Amino acid sequence: MTTPTTKPAPGPEFWERADQVIALANEQCMHSGGNEVATSLLYAAARFNAFLVASKSNDVAKMQAEKEGAVAFFTEQYKRMLTDNFNDYITNFDKYTQPSSAPEG
């Protein structure tokens, strides 16, 4: 998979899309457990990322050749984002866990 050489800062559309996905997850938590919703989100991200690689490949051989690099790329991105969010929650724990102001996701 060809990865970008520069990483532009996310624009407002990035945060809006993320907020929409989180809002949907929060809505689904009203009818399902948080762990079930989280597992569905992970599956959806994995399925969509596999689709992205497939849609940019001319054929199955190219997709197979790019599989390992794509898995490494997406795994590293997830690890970085998860670490950043854990650090944010640790820094803002009291603020985020107050019932009146806590984000749901």
Per-residue confidence (pLDDT) for residue 7, from 0 to 100? 63
Average pLDDT across the chain, whole number: 90
pLDDT tier, 38 (very low <50, low <70, confident <90, very high otherwise): very high
Per-residue confidence (pLDDT) for residue 4, from 0 to 100? 47
Instruction: Render pLDDT for 79-103 as a digit per residue (tens, 0 to 9).
Output: 999 999 999 999 999 999 887 655 5
Would you state the torsion angle of the CA atoms of residues 55, 22, 40, 78, taken in this order, to the nearest 10 degrees? 60
pTM assigned to the model: 0.79
Using N-to-C axis directions, what is the helix angle for 34-56 and 60-91, rounded to 10°? 140
Per-residue confidence (pLDDT) for residue 66, from 0 to 100? 95
Judge contact between 49 and 70, C-beta under 8 A.
yes
